[in-house]
Amino acid sequence: MYKLQLTPGLMSLSTLRRVAQEPVQLSLVDWAEDAVTASVDTVNKVIEQGRTLYGVNTGFGLLANTRIDQHQLKQLQRSIVLSHAAGTGNLMSPASVRLMMTLKVNSLARGFSGVRLQVIESIMRLLNTEVYPCVPEKGSVGASGDLAPLAHMSTVLLGEGEVIYKGERLSGLQGLKIAGLAPLELAPKEGLALLNGTQASTALALQGLFAMEDLFAVAVVCGSLSVEAALGSRKPFDAKIHQARGHQSQIDVAGAYRRLLDHSEIEDSHRNCEAVQDPYSLRCQPQVMGACLSQIRNAAQTLAVEANAVSDNPLVFSEDQDIINGGNFHAEPVAMAADNLALAIAEMGALSERRTALLIDSNLSNLPAFLVENGGLNSGFMMAQVTAASLASENKSLAHPACVDSLPTSANQEDHVSMATFAARRLRDMNDNTAGILAIELLAACQGIDFRSPLKSSAALEKARGLLRNRVSFYSKDRYFAPDIEVAKGLVQSGAYNNFVETTLLPSFGL
């Protein structure tokens, strides 16, 4: 279990990756309590002064002009949690919920939300005992924050809703007992602060980012293996070409290819060949993958900020004894980051599929047709490439930007929304598709290099090929193909190839 002392507002991407990967024992730095307490005191003082505060002593959304009596303020906070827990669909995974809860603690503990330390510590206690609220995946439009998902998370604090504990689905009240907690009575503003925020969409987007980073490393390895299998030229990776263009991500990716491809017997075997230029799927890898890396880096920067952001409403500024209404709950930055990641995921898969198509085409690769001996009797990789094509095509549809599809809600009070939660959630399916595409290329490229025997590839690529060959044998004749793809896909998704690229290449690898 990962032990993490959280300094509010200072979580790194590498820390967030750890939280997404394994259970966490969360604690707060000692000084966090002061800021939290000060914000609660400010809320109480403003209420005592009789001032009207949105969501504290008024209704919500279009009902913001409805004043709530003093004796009903606690009921108001309970009501918003229960009424807004209106999600549907499959449940978010425990890893997604764990990351979402950690992000919510990180935000509330910064002391701009007017939430008591007891509430924050209750969320932490659920996290630390691995009692995860049941949160449906669907129902958020990403403004005013991720209301439905965060409401489902918060119902458990009230002794309502359901939880998952050690794979078993239990009532929220049972979950509290396991965690050693009693149901909370929420104070003014606390229900609204729990529900407002972008933590669900940000958690899903971060998971999409982390999975994509793993696939990016695999794609660079697979692309290098395919260059070897197809007897491709090293010249397109020359540093001078990429320096002349100037894009840093392209320069960095080209360097990654050079390190993997340097130096091999296969390269020596065709150093003086008459081939002039390789197809784009080999030759333009630094350009395409560099553009994808730019999207990863830009999205990572946005998500790192959002993971540490205060995104509920209204916000409490204790030093000024002021509470201000705004719109930090609008998840447009997350939506656009996720949409741009989707474009890059689709392109990574599209480029990989084209390399597989090249390898099975004997006219282009000078390898046996469909990468199998005795073709005709054996079909080899024929249908595997079709599978890769189907996955790449599916990703094209999923890559359509979600943020442009705003649909007004709450009687047009919330008249522009981000659709960030779907934008982020669909990255999971896209990454899964691209993992399948890369698995097929990994099989095909290693098969192609096997046909170049006894010539060897570079030391790094021989090691990469060995990881597959320890699990999947050479395809000497037709056999049940699907298990090979599943084994290779598991390897692709395992992170086993992450150390084949420098840790500085991808944002969450080494920070």
Residues with catalytic roles: 54
Query: What is the β-pairing status of strands 2-6 and 88-91?
Result: unpaired
What is the 3 state secondary structure string of 241-309? HHHHHCCHHHHHHHHHHHHHHCCCHHHHHCCCCCCCCCCHHHHCHHHHHHHHHHHHHHHHHHHHHHHCC
DSSP state of 110: T
Q: Is 161 left (phi over 0), alpha (psi -120 to 50) or beta?
A: left
Q: Write the CA distances from 398 to 80, 336, 344, 455, 457, integer angstroms.
A: 33, 14, 12, 41, 36
What are the backbone dihedrals phi and psi of residue 307, each rounded to the nearest 5 degrees, phi first?
Answer: -65, -25
Q: Write the CA distances from 242 to 81, 271, 348, 507, integer angstroms.
A: 54, 22, 19, 21
Query: What is the β-pairing status of strands 168-171 and 131-133?
Result: unpaired
What are the backbone dihedrals phi and psi of residue 105, each rounded to the nearest 5 degrees, phi first?
Answer: -60, -45
Cis peptide before 144 (omega within 30 of 0): yes
CB contact at 8 A, 357 and 385: yes
Q: Which of 283, 180, 308, 305 is nearest to 232 (CA)?
A: 283
